[in-house]
Amino acid sequence: MVRGRRKNSPFGSRFVKPRVGAARSTVTEPGPVAPVPAPSVPRTEAVGELRPGHPLADAAMNDRLHAFEQGFRERFAQLVPVLKEVHALQHERDFQERAQRIVLDRLGYQLPEKALEDAWINDLDTRELYLHGTFELFDQVVNEYWAGRDDLVAEAESAIAYFLDCDFHEVDISPCSDGRLLGLRRFILRLPDLAVRVKSYAGAQFDIEEDVRHWTKRELLRFREGRPTTADVPSRYLKIAAYHYSGADPLHQGCAAHGNSERDAADGALHQLRAFRQAIENTYCCGASVDTLLIGVDTDTDAVKIHIPDGDTRMSLYRFVDSAALYRETQGLDEQSASLRVYQAIQDAIHQQGWGRGNGAPHEGMLRLISRLLLNNISQLEYVARYHGGHYADVGHRERVIIVGQEIEEMQVRNFAYFAHLETMEEGSDGIDVGVNKIFRKLNVERGLPVPVVIHYRYDRKVPGSRERVEARCRRIRRTIMERYRDLAEKGLIGCHMVIRDKRSGSRLEPLVA
């Protein structure tokens, strides 16, 4: 158990440590900021101009991530070709046996017998088989994720020690639910799976009351159990919100929850951060241990804008470091000079004038973390430059599934799933409506494909009755979804797969029968 700050953590060993920094501020959250002027937020330049080969890139990690991404995508890419092959055999004499053998050999699961038996009467229900196959492959990927991954715990411990060196005892990230941000933790920011909390919401509009409850729980653990450090160690809870935009097609491929407006997406996320901080301070007094950070992501390239807090913890939409510009500026430098330029870019943002002007620098720990995140993202830009030609081909939505309920940490491949955080359908209907109506009706329904929905919740095996209550919630959510989208359900154009599991990391999915 980590009870104090540890030095020389292997996580972030290449970070840039700023030589100067402001003392930690205890100023309360500021009041309303000046009105935003008519010009839009400065836009990131296209990363398509970048070449692979950057002195600060982690080539070995990029190779590992590419192997993971390719294996993940290739598995799901086989589904439609295999189902087409099965469909072509449906009138053959030995259809059932051949179909089962093909699917088992190529995809590793069994087709539902009833669907095959009824094929001679009503033709093969390929929509049912598509849903069944998507859900089977989904379960396989999640359950296999932890096999042979003993390194995950060591990576998390190293990262937590680094966060403590930066004076943060908890890092909590709320990105937008958009599937193009699904790789935010593992790819874009390069943070270990078990070291940070990630919960996605449409438009990054996270639930403030729920986050206040989580903050309270984490503080209680510090006081009662000394996790991850004792309460007498000066550290803070860091809340990060991540909005997104499209550099290539800003009017059509931005955040659907904010009408594709980058400024609205950024301003909405910043508003939530201010409200969260204010809620903590109003409830637990001025100066409570909370820091906030705003990050923008260009989903075409994975470049980030990290908005730099000032000495009073204020952030501005106009004060940020653009990782794409930093990548270009440092590509021809040696490693030491490039690292120094990362630090200088942060200082340039801190001391800028005009609309982005702030009141000095944030505390040194925040500067160190921002440096680390920029370095990590430079590796991701190298990844996109090397393996995707500097710019993703799928700048729009290409998700395969909607995940409803609680986050699935194993799903960390860009554009694979849209996530709708949901405790009750009444409170979370906006998030799932964006997924079904604004994304999957165009992606799937217009092509005749159904919308696969995975309903996922965790239970606590230590709490009596927890599993039964979670089962009941899954069934209630499924029933409500099918009723809400009855026009799709009646045509077999939406289907739900219910899975639960224990809250321990690495626990296997437990499918529920409808």
Using alpha carbons, select from 131, 195, 185 the residue that is nearest to residue 413.
185
Kindly list the distances between the CA atom of residue 345 and the CA atoms of 112, 191, 327, 342, 348, in Å, as whole numbers in the listed order: 57, 22, 11, 5, 5
Residue 442 has a CB neighbour count (10 Å cut-off) of 12
CA–CA separation, 262 and 246 (whole Å): 8
One-letter amino acid of 360: G
One-letter amino acid of 361: A
299: Cα separation from own chain's centroid:
12
What does DSSP assign to residue 321?
Answer: E
Residue 286 near residue 171 (C-beta atoms within 8 A)? no
Structure tokens at 364: 């040194």
Helix (H, G, I), strand (E, B) or coil at 51: coil
Residue 163 near residue 195 (C-beta atoms within 8 A)? yes
Residue 318 near residue 42 (C-beta atoms within 8 A)? yes
CA–CA separation, 255 and 386 (whole Å): 26
| Helix H or strand E encompassing 458 | strand 451-459
What does DSSP assign to residue 258?
Answer: G
Structure tokens at 51: 């070449």
167 noted as active-site residue = no
Structure tokens at 261: 């407006």
CA–CA separation, 209 and 275 (whole Å): 10
Helix (H, G, I), strand (E, B) or coil at 496: strand
**Given 58, 167, 178, 302, the catalytic residue:** 178
CA dihedral 61, 67, 70, 75 (to 10 degrees): -130
Catalytically annotated residues: 178
